[in-house]
Amino acid sequence: MIPLYISKKFSSIKELHHYLKDNNEEIILQKKSTVFKSYEKGAGISFTDFSNISNEDIAEKARLYGFKSDNIYPVINSTGFLDSHFDVHLKGCYKKTVKEQQGKVYLIDTHLKGLGNILAKKSDIKMLIKDIDWKMLGKDYEGKTECLVFEIPKIKVRPDAMEFIKETPDLENSLAMRYVNTVLAVKSNDPAFQEENDVFEQHISEIKNADMAKKYGFFYAVKELAIMGEGSICPVVGGSNSATRVLDISEPSNHSDVDKNGPSKDTQKEEKKGIKIVKLKKK
């Protein structure tokens, strides 16, 4: 199905493409002027069964990422994933906004504004950009995806929220965002679509769930987005990008950096017994 914001019916893919190109300026302006809550951008992409990944593998990956046991790591957003608006966040889209908004972003409850909905204060959140294995996010894809991750000390998360996160696997992470730079990509041999076709060919291989983009021959490549002051944990089901979750290393570890010679046997034993994943289904 084509995005819900396109209400017109089309007799052919070619007609759809011409509609998108003819109305491109208006559609892009609409996308750039709207603050999106990512979990609202479509319904349900189910998780791949996480049971095919061993605790040992998860613990080792988390250690390599530099994750520490006294923090939680909500994966707020991921790249290379086609959402229900046919938008794809590209690698590098977070770089500018993370630099500009570091220390200015809250973790809140379900995008609700108000003192009672703050789960972690902006001064306690460090935003990271991390390349994370798709399988760590519960998706059965090879390779890694660039993610926007919050690093938050567990003691700085509101206690009732921390307990809820630990006990509730079917949460979603969601990002309040505005698109700054997005372009139309169209698969077409028509010379009139040369620019759009070039974008399509350049980025289609980066999309892990590209079936719909290939079927309808288009997507919107988001090259830069702006974080609008918050990331959110949402008790909802079925977001537009399910490749988000909270990573929580439950057992203490005395190191945060990777030793060049690899972990000691004691560290390996400690990590093997101690990683816990709280799955969050987003956008």
pLDDT per position as a tens digit, 69-78: 888 888 888 8
pLDDT-above-90 percentage for the chain: 46
Name the more confident of 150 and 283.
150
Q: What is the pLDDT of residue 211?
A: 95
Q: What is the pLDDT of residue 68?
A: 83
Residue 140 domain-assigned (yes or no):
yes
Name the more confident of 118 and 112.
118
* Count of H-run helices and E-run strands, the chain: 8, 11
Q: What is the pLDDT of residue 51?
A: 42
Residue 29 domain-assigned (yes or no):
yes
Residue 4 domain-assigned (yes or no):
no
pLDDT-above-70 percentage for the chain: 72
Q: What is the pLDDT of residue 3?
A: 57
Q: What is the pLDDT of residue 18?
A: 94
Name the more confident of 60 and 188.
188
Q: What is the pLDDT of residue 144?
A: 92
Q: What is the pLDDT of residue 258?
A: 36
Band of pLDDT at residue 246, cut at 50, 70 and 90: low
Residue 7 domain-assigned (yes or no):
no
- Mean pLDDT, residues 142-148: 91
Residue 206 domain-assigned (yes or no):
yes
- Mean pLDDT, residues 170-175: 77
**CA separation, residue 6 to residues 9, 83, 84, 131 (Å):** 8, 15, 12, 33
Structure tokens of 258? 């990777």
Closest Cα partner for 41 from 203, 139, 175? 175
Residue 233 domain-assigned (yes or no):
yes
State the residue range of the domain holding 194.
Answer: 13-280
Task: Report whether pLDDT(270) > 90.
Answer: no
Identify the sign of the CA torsion 185, 186, 189, 194: negative
Residue 107 domain-assigned (yes or no):
yes
Band of pLDDT at residue 64, cut at 50, 70 and 90: confident
- Mean pLDDT, residues 202-218: 95
Q: What is the pLDDT of residue 63?
A: 77
In degrees rounded to 5, what are phi and psi of residue 107? -105, 120
Band of pLDDT at residue 31, cut at 50, 70 and 90: very high
Closest Cα partner for 273 from 246, 250, 242? 250
Band of pLDDT at residue 268, cut at 50, 70 and 90: very low
Q: What is the pLDDT of residue 252?
A: 40
Residue 55 domain-assigned (yes or no):
yes
| Distance in angstroms (rounded) separating the CA atoms of residues 270 and 268 | 5
Longest dimension (CA), the chain: 65
On average, the pLDDT of the chain sits at 78
46: Cα within 13 Å, side-chain hemisphere: 2
| Distance in angstroms (rounded) separating the CA atoms of residues 207 and 185 | 12
Q: In a 3-state reduction of DSSP, which class is residue 249? A: strand
Within 10 angstroms of residue 141's Cβ, the number of other Cβ atoms is: 16
- Mean pLDDT, residues 227-242: 68
Q: What is the pLDDT of residue 280?
A: 37
Question: Looking at residue 171, what DSSP letter applies?
Answer: B
Q: What is the pLDDT of residue 235?
A: 63
Band of pLDDT at residue 169, cut at 50, 70 and 90: low
Q: How many domains does the chain have?
A: 1
pTM of the model: 0.79
